[in-house]
Every structure is written in C-alpha cells, then in structure tokens.
Structure 1
Amino acid sequence: MSLVIIDTGCANLSSVAFAFERLGVQAKISANAETIHAAERVILPGVGSAPFAMKQIIDRGLLSVVKELNQPVLGICLGMQLLFNTLVEGAEKTEGFGVINGDVVPLDTKSLPSPHMGWNTLSPVKQDTIAKGLSDSDFAYFVHSYVVPIGDYTVMSCEYGSPFSAIVRQNNFWGCQFHPERSSATGSKILKNFLDVTV
C-alpha cells in the first residue's frame, strides 16, 4: 500500500513514518502534489500553533491539494484540527481546510493544569472502522490546549476538565487529537485500522 505523510514543515515526521514501518508499510514523506494525489492513504501531521502551520501549508502550495483529496486522509493532533473550519487561539482566528464542519476552541480544563499532556482514556461514541477493537479501557497519549467539541463527526471522545473529540470522521477525512505514533498498542491498532478503512 502506498502511504504519504505530508511534509507540512511543522511536525515530527520520522516518528509517524516509523510507526507505520512497524506495521510493515513504508511511508513516503512529501510535499509534492502529484505524489500526495497518487497515494492510497495520506497522513496530515502537525504540532505547534495553527497560524504558523497554515502559513507553512499555504507557502508549500498544499491548501488546495489537501481539500481535493478523495482517498482516506488521517490528521494527527494539530493536523486533525486543521481539517476543521476555524481554529481560535487567543485573539487569533485561523482558517483551516474546512473539510470537516466544525471549529477548534480552547480546552476548558476547569481546575486541571493546561495543556492536557499525558495518557488518557478513549470513550466510544459511534462505530467506525478506525476505532475497531477499541474500548473505554484504551489509553492514548495527548499533548494539546485546543479541542474540537463533541459533534456529529465524533467517533471517540475523551475528557479532561471537559469532554472533547478524540477521534473524528467526515467523509474521507479522519482525525486523532492524540498522537497514535506515541500511544503504544492502542496507537498501533488505530493506524492499522486506518490502513483498512474504505470510503
């Protein structure tokens, strides 16, 4: 299977590539539109701030490329958030890809420390191939301060002060708020499931 990790200029690409290597899939890292379009599966990784990430994506000519994809696409962490309409960070509002209808907002941690960093459990919301074999006893590794609220797109949720979307899906776009490449057996299962999804 051909799999491309989009070189967004704002992610730890090698750890994601290594996670797929362990599953027997050789990932290609690329920012080339033709290479991305030709892949059977596409990963959109991202860490850091939304304004910086979108600037990198626009500067690399990737905005329309991602929007046009018809094959399964998986956004990871900030990559997931960028799939939505808008991302609000402080006074700054960033336009995302808008391929999933919803917005990214600050996580209301109540009295808990921010950012949400470390292991937390996943709770099933609705059935989807990407969540096959997962239950509410499975842990994933999170590092984030912003979230997508629970919505029609939510496949699995998590709670840290407030509930939020942990896995989302709309059409051929999936997203994980956590880092599957750092989530041990749970993460490997999710990445393997992503290889099996159909659109």
Structure 2
Amino acid sequence: MTIVILNTGCANLTSIKIAIKRLGYTSQITSDPNLLIKSKKLIIPGVGTASAVMNILNQKNLINIIKSIKQPVLGICLGMQIFCKFSEECNGINTLGILNNSSTILLKNSHLSLPHIGWNYITFNKVHPLFKNIQRNSRFYFVHSYIVPVNKYTLATTNYGISFSSVIQKNNFFGVQFHPEKSGDVGAQLLKNFLEI
C-alpha cells in the first residue's frame, strides 16, 4: 500500500512527490490501474486543461476505476475541477461526475484578470480534519481560471471577484483549488493532514 500520484501528464507531478517526501512519506507517480486500486491514498494533480486530462483518463480506462476507489482521494486544482460532471473549459467537456455540478469560468464580467494567480485567503465553513493546525484565514497559492461553485460539499471558500469553493469533500473525495505543494508551511500542513486521514 502506497501513496499514488496519478500520472495525468501534467507539469507539477514531481513537485508534489517532493512535497510528500519532505513530510516523511514515499509516493509513486503512475497511471497503472492496479496500483491505483491498491493505493493507500490517491492524489490527482492538475496543471493543464480538462480535455487533456480527461483524454488521458479515457485512453487508460481509468474513469470508472477512479470513481470506484474507496480510499481517500485528493484532487488538486484541475484535479478537483474534474470531480464535477461537466467543465465549461474547451467549449465544454464531460468530466468524472463525482459532484453533480459544473466547473465554470471564474470571472465572466470583471475588471480582475485571469488566471487568478497568487496568494489568497481561504475561509473555513466548518471544522474539519484537513484544517488541523491551520489558522483561520490562512493564505494558499492559486493558479486557475475555472472554479467549482460553492455547493453543499464546500468546506472552505475563497473570494476573487466572487466566492468559490477552495476546499471540498464528498465521501472519500477531497479537493483543493489551490496548490498545497506551492503554499509553503501551511500547504505542507494540509498535505500532512490529508495523508493522515
């Protein structure tokens, strides 16, 4: 049993692996279905486009495997957005359907620029093991243009023109819109909390 980082072909796989190693854990970057099923924890990273990631998951026949996994799964940024049933990105694409809503463009009418890049605050909606030893209104590092709207599975929100889900959980599926591997000590603490759930 190991921690698996799903190889989605995106750019930040190694930085997540290094962040996990700093916490004293070992992980493996792979898309091998057997290793995903046997993993202790699964992390789905996200840099790139929804269509590119979904194409890889389709080609490797991983969609139903991911949806059937019972151990904790963490989606990071795009990895969280594809938990939705649909993404507005790339003229619209069907995604995993773990959440029964759509990932939408962050700002349709605003003076703020896209993508949303940099440090921003998250506001906890409830007490949760993911937030252990993390102070309220902590800042994390974001890079994204699409969001998961606030919904009943939202654990924390962030505001950039509008409020959006920055942390979600549905059953064993956890998601963060920010990049914990790029968020310094507070990001490391959140990763540690996930690995210890």
* TM-score interval (norm. to shorter): over 0.9
- Amino acid in the other structure paired with 1:50: A
CA distance in structure 1 between the aligned counterparts of 2:53 and 2:129, rounded to whole angstroms: 29
Per-residue deviation, residues 19-69 of structure 1 (Å, max 9, x unmatched): 000000010111111111111100011211111111111112211111110
CA-CA distance at 1:165 after TM superposition: 0.4
> Retained in 1: the 8 A contact 2:124–2:137?
no
Unaligned runs of 5+ in 2: none
What is the aligned-residue identity percentage? 39
Number of the residue aligned with 1:94: 93
What CA deviation, in whole Å up to 9, does each residue of 1:94-116 have, x standing for no partner?
11111122210011272111110
For residue 171 of structure 1, report the CA deviation from its aligned partner: 0.2
Instruction: Give the structure 1 partner of residue 62 of structure 2.
Output: 62
- How many Å separate the matches in 2 of 1:162 and 1:19? 30
Task: For residue 8 of structure 1, give the secondary structure of its aligned residue in structure 2.
Answer: coil
Answer yes or no: is 1:191 the counterpart of 2:191. Answer: yes
Q: How does 1:12-161 map to 2 (within 5 A)?
A: 12-89=12-89, 92-108=91-107, 110-161=110-161
Normalised TM-score (structure 1): 0.94
Q: Unpaired runs of 5+ in structure 1?
A: none
SS in 1 for 2:87: strand
Give, in whole Å, the separation in 2 of the partners of 1:11 and 1:61: 21
Q: How many residues align?
A: 196
- 1:62-94 deviation per Cα after TM superposition (whole angstroms, max 9, x unaligned): 11111110000000010010111111026x111
| Partners of 1:84 and 1:97 within 8 A in 2 | yes
Checking the alignment, whether the CA contact within 8 Å between 1:10 and 1:56 is kept in structure 2 is no
Q: Structure 2 CA distance, aligned partners of 1:100 and 1:111?
A: 30
Partner of 1:174: 174
**Conserved in 1, the CA contact under 8 Å of 2:141 and 2:182?**
yes
Q: TM-score, normalised by structure 2?
A: 0.95
Output the amino acid matched with 1:106. Answer: I
Q: Larger deviation: 114-123 or 49-58?
A: 49-58
Q: Does the 8 A contact of 2:167 with 2:174 survive in 1?
A: yes
1:137 Cα offset (Å) = 3.0
